[in-house]
Amino acid sequence: MRSFWLSLFAFGALAVLLFGWRGGEPLTAAAFVVFFASRVWRSVIKRPLAPLPHDDDPIRRANLFVVVTAGGYLAAGALAAAAAIVGEGQEWLYVAPLFLILGALQLALVTGRRDV
């Protein structure tokens, strides 16, 4: 059942990119797709499609979860900043810094001290 929803997301993402490109706002569409694709990837990390091996490292998976979260925020923030610069919408001037800050905080969480 999850493969159906993942496929539906992929088709939806392609439609958003296509309509965003045709509507003159490709960076806005890309920012949405990147952000929500990172959310889908996080859900697959949290609940894998296949059973986990017995020697799975939960700390590694948790770190991967946070890195994917950071990547989604940073990539969407960069695309949002680019969308604001090229004039695709003033609202991106408010969204981009927030996403970039949240992405940097996620990276700080992963690269922080481990002995605490």
> What is the mean predicted confidence (pLDDT) over 67-74?
96
> What is the mean predicted confidence (pLDDT) over 52-68?
88
> What is the mean predicted confidence (pLDDT) over 74-85?
94
Question: Measured in Å, how far apart are the chain's first and last C-alpha atoms?
Answer: 41
> What is the mean predicted confidence (pLDDT) over 63-69?
94
pLDDT of residue 97: 94
The span from the CA of 75 to the CA of 50, in Å, is 28
Q: Where are the domains of the chain?
A: 2-111
Identify the band that residue 59 occupies on the pLDDT scale cut at 50, 70 and 90: confident
> What is the mean predicted confidence (pLDDT) over 76-88?
93
96 by Cβ neighbours in 10 Å (0-12 / 13-18 / 19+) ranks as buried
- Amino acid symbol at 9: F
